[in-house]
Structure 1
Amino acid sequence: MFELRLLCPEDHVETLSDALDALDALSVSVEDADAQTDAEQALFGEPGMPPPKEGWQRSRIIALFPDEAAANEAAQLLQLQDFFADCRLLGVASVPDEDWVRLTQSQFAPVEITPEFWIVPTWHEPPEQAREVIRLDPGLAFGTGTHPTTRMCLRWIARRPATAPLGRVLDYGCGSGILAIGAAKHGALDIDAVDIDEAAVQSTVLNAEANRVSLKAGLPDRAQGTYNTVLANILATPLKVLAPLLCAHVAEGGALVLAGILERQADELKEAYAPWIQLSVADTEDGWILMTAQR
């Protein structure tokens, strides 16, 4: 395996990346060429949304090729193009053979939700103190327990007092199904998990089977009637649009739990939901908040 390294300005990143894809690069990644220096730039975006920029003012592009000849040929062809004028070839180098599966797995450790409740990839043993475990491996659908929004939702589920059972549950925008599975692990018996993405629905079904819990998964039209607990970990903008729909699904005395919201967006959400329900901030982590309400 060989990697081709290039330096380019921000406005050339997309063009250069597309060209590398066309030249059959196995993968293309973009890094801040000024990382770990005073000129380093932080780029932040919300989960599931496009990044705010394609790259950095000085971007380092790394493309993997199966052999040295392919990497050198790509370098030569790129340097002949007009769009390469402000770019620079940093070199071609061999990449040591790695056990890529083991390397990838090592990046995903068990995630603590509470001291007794953990998210554990299948290649790890649960921690000794874990009393409740969700087995979940990284996949295509959002929701592995590593993001603060997911952890806050699961903490809310785990800390729900026995005097206030979850009852009938709706997980709207279920992704991997992690919240629905967490609800099942904490006593919910009638669970609908819905998503607009059919791949997410399938992921939820498979993850539920792997965790030996019972739930019904499908597209949003599966959500029918009212629920004692409505969970939605999406993003602030769609949550505002969905306000009348989600509130209509909350039963009298039921709980609404919303996540995917930045701290600065709290007032927007309160205003959007005010005609139906009164939201308040129930938890916060790393600039994200959990908002809840009871009908």
Structure 2
Amino acid sequence: MFELRLLCPEAGVEPMSEALDALDALSVSVEDADALTEHERPLFGEPGMPAPQQGWQRSRVSALFASHEAADEAAALLLLQDFFADCTLIGVAPVAEQDWVGLTQAQFAPVQITPEFWIVPTWHEPPAQARLAIRLDPGMAFGTGTHPTTRMCLRWLAAHAEHVGAHRVLDYGCGSGILAMGAARFGAREIDAVDIDEAAVQATRANARANALQLNAGTPELAQGVYGTVLANILATPLKVLAPLLCAHVADGGRLVLAGILERQADELRQAYAPWLALEVADHEDGWILMSASR
């Protein structure tokens, strides 16, 4: 494996990446060339909103090729292109063989939700104290238990297990299905998990099968009637749009649980849901909050 390295201004990154893809690069990565220097200009954007600019002033573009010859040929062709005028060829270097699977897996250890409830990748054994566990590997759909919003929702389920086990549960925007599976672990017998992304629906079904858990997964039209627990871990903007729909699914005596909300967005969500339910902050972690309401 050989790596072709280039330096590009912001405007050159996209055409360079497209050209490398056309030249059959095995992968292309882009990094801030000024990272960890006095010239670094981090790109900050709000969740769900575009960044204030699309890229860094200078980027380091790296492309992997199967052979030194293929990397050299790609470099020679790129040098002839008009968009290369402000770019710099750093060179071609061999990439040492590594256990990439092992390196990736090492980033994901079991995640503690409560002392007895854990999310455990399949390459780990559950901790001795784990009375309840969900087996879940990183995949295409959001939700592995590592993000604060997911952990807060799972903690809520653990704290309200008696309520969850006595009612229908709706996981709206299910992603990997982790919240629906959490509800199943705490005794819920009728669970609908819905998402607009078909890949998320398929991931939820596969993950439920792998954990021997029963639930229904599908696109949003699957959600019918009212539920004792309605969970939605999305982001503040879609949560505001979904307010009338989500509230309509909450049964008398039911609970609504929302996450994906920044602390400073609490009042926005309260106002959006005020015509139907009174939201309150029920948990917080690392700048994120969980809000809940009862009918």
| TM-score, with length taken from structure 2 | 0.94
SS in 2 for 1:162: helix
- Which stretch has the larger CA shift, 278-287 or 184-193? 278-287
Displacement of 1:12 after TM fit?
2.1
After TM superposition, list the pairs within 5 Å mapping 1:171-186 onto structure 2.
Answer: 171-186=171-186
2:247 maps to amino acid: C
What's 1:58 paired with? 58
Counterpart Cα distance in 2 of 1:36 and 1:228: 50
Residues in 2 aligned to 1:113 and 1:72: alpha-carbon distance in whole angstroms: 50
- The one-letter code sitting in structure 2 at the alignment partner of 1:20 is L
Structure 1: 5+ residue runs without aligned partners?
Answer: none
Q: How does 1:69-218 map to 2 (within 5 A)?
A: 69-160=69-160, 162=162, 165=165, 167-218=167-218
Cα pair 1:284 1:290 within 8 Å, conserved: yes
Between 64-73 and 163-172, report the one with greater CA deviation: 163-172
Cα distance, 1:78 vs. partner? 1.4
Give the match for residue 265 of structure 2. 265
Report the residue type matching 1:234 in the other structure. Answer: I
Give the letter for the 1:282 counterpart.
A
Change (3 A) 1:52 1:112: farther
Between 176-185 and 30-39, report the one with greater CA deviation: 30-39
In structure 1, the partner of 2:232 is: 232
- Per-residue deviation at 1:46? 6.1
**1:280 maps onto 2:280 in alignment:** yes
Asked whether the 8 Å contact 1:174–1:204 carries over to 2, the reply is: yes
What letter matches 2:186 in structure 1?
Answer: H
1:3 aligns with 2:3: yes
Paired residues in the alignment total 295
* 1:23 CA displacement: 1.1
Distance, in Å, in 2 between the alignment partners of 1:50 and 1:176 is 24
Residue 40 of structure 1 deviates from its aligned partner by 2.8
* C-alpha spacing 1:191/1:68, structure 2 compared with 1 (3 Å): same
Q: TM-score, normalised by structure 1?
A: 0.94
Give the direction of change, closer, same or farther, for the CA distance of 1:126–1:161 in structure 2 (3 Å limit).
closer
Report SS of the residue matched to 1:170.
Answer: strand
Gap change, CA 1:108 and 1:267, over 3 Å in 2: same
Distance 2:148 2:225 in 1: 30
Please tell me the residue identity of whatever aligns with 2:162: A
User: In 2, Cα distance between the equivalents of 1:22 and 1:49?
Assistant: 30
Shift of 1:277: 0.7
Q: CA RMSD in A?
A: 1.8
Contact map agreement 1:31 1:55 (CA 8 A) in 2? no
C-alpha spacing 1:260/1:168, structure 2 compared with 1 (3 Å): same
SS of corresponding position for 2:61: strand
Residues 7 and 59 in structure 1, CA contact (< 8 A), matched pair in contact too: yes
**Given that residues 112 and 118 in structure 1 are in contact (C-alpha distance below 8 angstroms), is that contact kept between their aligned partners in structure 2?**
yes
Query: Partner letter of residue 37 of structure 1?
Result: T
Distance 2:29 2:51 in 1: 14
Equivalents in 2 of 1:209, 1:37: separation in Å?
A: 48
1:244 aligns with 244
Q: Deviations over 1:98-154 (max 9, x none)?
A: 122222211211111122211111011111221111100111111111111111111
Are residues 188 and 47 of structure 1, via their aligned partners in 2, closer, same or farther at CA, if it must alter by over 3 Å? farther
| Alpha-carbon separation, structure 1, partners of 2:132 and 2:251 | 28
Does the 8 Å CA contact 2:281/2:292 hold for their aligned counterparts? yes
Q: CA deviation at 1:24?
A: 0.9
Amino acid of the structure 2 residue aligned with 1:36: L
Partner SS, residue 155 of structure 1: helix
Q: Which amino acid aligns with 2:123?
A: W
Distance across 1 between alignment mates of 2:164 and 2:184:
15
- C-alpha change, 1:2 and 1:163, in structure 2 (3 Å) is closer
Quote how far apart the aligned CAs of 1:179 are: 0.3
1:212 maps to amino acid: A
Supply the distance in 1 between the matched residues of 2:114 and 2:48 (Cα, whole angstroms): 25
